[in-house]
Each structure stands twice: as C-alpha cells, then as structure tokens.
C-alpha cells in the first residue's frame, strides 16, 4: 500500500501513541495475536513490563504541574518512562520500522505528556526516509504533535456570509 501511495504522491503519516499504553483491564489478545496483561503492566510482545513505566503510579490532578502532566497517568493509561534508554530504543525501533515501510512522517499523540528533551532524543533517533519509496536522499520524517483545543468557541457571526 505504501509503495502504491508514494508512487502517486500520496504520503502516509502514522498517528503514534508513544506516551502511554493501555489502562488496567483483563488479559487481552491483540489483532496480531500478541497477548498482554494490562493489570500487571505486562506487554511481552514489545516487551515492556512494570519496570518500564513511571513509578509510583499517579493520576494527573493538577494540569498546571508539568511534572504531574509528564510523569503521571493520563486517564488511567499506564505512563511509559522515557527517561529509560530501553523505552526510548523500543519506540525508535518501531518508528524506524514504519520508515522502512515507506511512511513520510508521524503525528505524535499526547506529546505534551512527555518531557521535551526525551521526545527530542526519540525524534533524533529516527532514520532518514526510505529512498526506495521515492523520497529524496537524506530526507527526514515530518513530525507534528497533537494540538490541544481548549474549547474556546469561535463566534459564528465572524464567519457568516
């Protein structure tokens, strides 16, 4: 699919969730057959386990506290500890695999929930785009981050005709 899309100028951007994993739930099987036990933070197909998440677990209660926003669980989703080189390496490995498959870039979900320097290290670890899919040599993936809309309503009359 990516080869065909790139051949006609359609670029593929992947929405990546690299801040967190699932919340607690019963043991589960993914669409590809991988098994996980979210209650014990065990994701053997990656592999991530309880050691790869922020400890102690906490919930975000103060949205003005950057430490809480970046180290605590967003709505109960297990928060990965990007300070650990292993966690960053596994994420970079996944991003590079997608680049190998011909993607042009990524939309990073929940980017404000990661420390900027750790996010930067992961972005710097990405390969150049794959020239086998028509990208120019030394092209970098295009990366954009989730933008939060704080719910400010636009006055309708400004756009009336």
Please write the tens of the pLDDT for every residue from 13-34: 999 999 999 999 988 998 899 9
Is 89 noted as a catalytic residue in this protein? Answer: no
The CA distance from 17 to 14, in Å, is 10
Mean pLDDT confidence for 62-90: 95
101 is a domain residue: yes
**Catalytic-labelled residue, pool 146, 149, 155, 156:** 146
155 is a domain residue: no
91 is a domain residue: yes
The CA distance from 124 to 61, in Å, is 31
Is 68 noted as a catalytic residue in this protein? Answer: no
Q: Can you give the pLDDT at residue 101?
A: 97
In this structure, the answer to whether residues 65 and 103 fall within a common structural domain is no
In this structure, the answer to whether residues 141 and 66 fall within a common structural domain is no
**Catalytic-labelled residue, pool 89, 109, 132, 157:** 109
- Return the bridge partners of 73, or none: 59
Taking a C-beta distance cutoff of 8 angstroms, is the pair 130, 102 a contact?
yes
The CA distance from 158 to 161, in Å, is 9
60 is a domain residue: yes
In this structure, the answer to whether residues 86 and 137 fall within a common structural domain is yes
Q: Can you give the pLDDT at residue 22?
A: 92
Residue 1 has pLDDT above 80, yes or no: yes
Mean pLDDT confidence for 54-75: 94
35 is a domain residue: yes
In this structure, the answer to whether residues 91 and 143 fall within a common structural domain is yes
Q: Which domain holds residue 43?
A: 22-81
């Amino acid at each position: 699919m990516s080869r065909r899309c790139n051949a006609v100028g359609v670029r593929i951007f992947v929405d990546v969730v690299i801040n967190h994993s699932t919340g607690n739930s019963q043991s589960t099987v993914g669409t590809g057959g991988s098994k996980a036990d979210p209650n014990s933070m065990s994701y053997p197909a990656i592999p991530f386990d309880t050691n790869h998440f922020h400890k102690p677990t906490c919930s975000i209660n103060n949205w003005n506290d950057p430490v809480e926003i970046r180290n605590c669980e967003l709505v109960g989703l297990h928060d990965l500890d990007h300070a650990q080189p292993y966690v960053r390496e596994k994420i970079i490995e996944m991003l590079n695999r997608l680049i190998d498959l011909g993607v042009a870039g990524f939309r990073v979900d929940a980017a404000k929930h990661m420390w900027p320097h750790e996010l930067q290290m992961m972005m710097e670890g990405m390969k150049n785009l794959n020239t086998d899919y028509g990208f120019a040599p030394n092209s970098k993936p295009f990366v954009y981050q989730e933008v939060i809309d704080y719910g400010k309503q636009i006055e309708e009359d400004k756009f009336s005709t």
